[in-house]
Amino acid sequence: MFGLEALDLARIQFAFTISFHILFPAITIGLASYLAVLEGLWLKTHNDTYRDLYHFWSKIFAVNFGMGVVSGLVMAYQFGTNWSRFSDFAGSVTGPLLTYEVLTAFFLEAGFLGVMLFGWNKVGRKLHFFSTVMVAIGTLISTFWILASNSWMQTPQGFEIVNGQVIPTDWLAIVFNPSFPYRLMHMATAAFVATAFFVGSSAAWHLLRGRDNPAIRTMLSMAMWMALIVAPIQAVIGDFHGLNTLEHQPAKIAAIEGHWENKGNEATPLILFGWPDMKEEKTKFAVEIPYLGSLILTHSLDKQVPALKEFPPEDRPNSTIVFWSFRVMVGLGFLMIFTGLWSLWLRKRDTLYTSRPFLYLALWMGPSGLIAILAGWFTTEIGRQPWVVYGLMRTADASSNHSFMQMSITLIMFVVVYFALFGAGLGYMMRLVRKGPKTDEGKETNEGGPGQKRTPARPLSAADDEGADADSPRSLEKEI
């Protein structure tokens, strides 16, 4: 079917499941830190706006966290089912790294998550804040170990091969491999930026519909400050990451640039747009800027960038895909920087919350961070091909011996189940976002907790109709 083989379906299945999964940890990382900041500000200022926002976003965090855990378990099982040869070859490295994640990050998150979600009126304020901070730290520790494992597959070191298997010889070298620091910073920063635009988009949606209150304004303000500060930092980190990739994976850079061959001693141009053709070995309809490729990638005007024809055809990544996925990521990055700068200009003019053109931009930029993460992930992983462990094991040698029919059936099942299960979860999250934070302005407020209207302990009953009591018979009937 479509010229695909069992190996292609195995790759598509892994790409499909990880594309769903990566969205949830990204938002979890950002929201966990956001919640810690909100609670810290509430404890310091006693401003109820921060408390209201904490209760609101903790519900969304709980649902997102649950979907992230479920989708992550599938990823672990796939290593044994679809990629058993890879597990046999490199399991002595990837297995312990994933185990460290469970023993540190997952246990930390699980231990304090219950206190964070259910302990608002059960424990003291300082202990509750400590629990929120521990959950936030746990998400970052999880990122540390996952990126250590994946980065080792990109730039492996600290091992020897004995009887066809990888044997660790230096765990510090394995964990802190050459690409790890750049990839860790790039991914963590991407999660913060994606969450900022998710939060900002939610605030813009409410402001465009006339719901203007301190909580909504605070959401937009905090989100735009994050975009203004962090989006440019992400661009700088990306530049350093690109230089590291040029050093260790030059074929990936050549594919990203759609650059096929160097001409004499000429500097490498930057191809803005075009269509890399893997069969004809050229980039069609190329729009080039002279010298700019050398300037960006080598920080000089005379050094050349490696070209795809310098590598054997069987060692070349698919330039057609990574060329465009990279440009989607970079294009969205520039839009994020522009949005942050525009917000600063409007803030100085005191029109940040009333400029409808800006609010519409902020609304439509809501999924931009997540799309950029997916595009960057495709660039990284497809650009590593044809290797599953760069320079050591080819993807074709890593898959299990499954038939085309087996892979077709399981892929179809994954697609159906994922769209049904996670589609329902995402739909529920959007219902929560549309409701917005409850502020009870001008009325006596409570601080949430079990049995209270604004409790963060019951995220799955938080999307009842506007004005309905969460514990009313009508609400309970809807839950059943």
Mean pLDDT of the chain: 85
List beta partners, residue 162.
165
Percentages of the chain per state (helix, strand, coil), in multiples of 5: 70, 5, 25
Confidence tier at 2 by pLDDT (50, 70, 90): low
Q: Tell which residue, 55, 32, 212, has the closest CA to residue 109.
A: 32
CB 377 within 8 A of CB 22: yes
pTM recorded for the entire structure: 0.86
Residue 468 in 3-state DSSP? coil
What torsion do the CA atoms of 162, 182, 111, 68 make, to the nearest 10 degrees?
A: -90
pLDDT for res 31: 93
In order of 39, 116, 121, 131, 214, the CA distances from 455 in angstroms are: 15, 11, 9, 17, 20
Determine whether 160 is exposed, middle or buried from the number of CB atoms within 10 Å of its CB (0-12, 13-18, 19+): exposed
Mean pLDDT value across residues 21-46:
91
**What tens digit of pLDDT does each residue of 322-348 get?**
999 999 999 999 999 999 999 999 999
Confidence tier at 447 by pLDDT (50, 70, 90): very low
473's CB contacts (< 8 A; 6+ apart) are: none
45's CB contacts (< 8 A; 6+ apart) are: none
The CA-based diameter of the chain, rounded to the nearest angstrom, is: 79
List beta partners, residue 283.
276
**What tens digit of pLDDT does each residue of 361-372 get?**
999 999 999 999
pLDDT at 10 over 60: yes
Task: Determine if the peptide bond prior to 459 is cis (ω within 30°).
Answer: no
Spatial distance between the Cα atoms of 39 and 53, rounded to a whole number of angstroms: 9
Q: Show the beta-strand stretches assigned E in 190-279.
A: 270-277
Percent of the chain whose predicted confidence (pLDDT) is above 70: 91
pLDDT at 426 over 50: yes
Spatial distance between the Cα atoms of 353 and 237, rounded to a whole number of angstroms: 31
**What tens digit of pLDDT does each residue of 43-100 get?**
999 999 999 999 999 999 988 888 888 888 787 788 888 888 998 899 899 989 988 9
pLDDT at 207 over 80: yes
pLDDT at 454 over 50: no
pLDDT at 3 over 50: yes
Mean pLDDT value across residues 398-425:
86
At residue 167, φ and ψ (nearest 5 deg) are: -120, 120
pLDDT for res 474: 35
Q: Tell which residue, 136, 142, 135, 134, has the closest CA to residue 98.
A: 142
CB 263 within 8 A of CB 290: no
Spatial distance between the Cα atoms of 204 and 212, rounded to a whole number of angstroms: 10
Residue with tokens 């009333």: 354
**What tens digit of pLDDT does each residue of 229-277 get?**
999 999 999 999 999 999 999 999 999 998 888 887 888 888 889 999 8
Q: Tell which residue, 182, 270, 168, 218, has the closest CA to residue 436.
A: 218
Spatial distance between the Cα atoms of 445 and 47, rounded to a whole number of angstroms: 12
In order of 26, 228, 364, the CA distances from 190 in angstroms are: 8, 13, 18
Spatial distance between the Cα atoms of 152 and 178, rounded to a whole number of angstroms: 8
Label the pairing between strands 270-277 and 282-289: antiparallel
480's CB contacts (< 8 A; 6+ apart) are: none
pLDDT at 376 over 90: yes
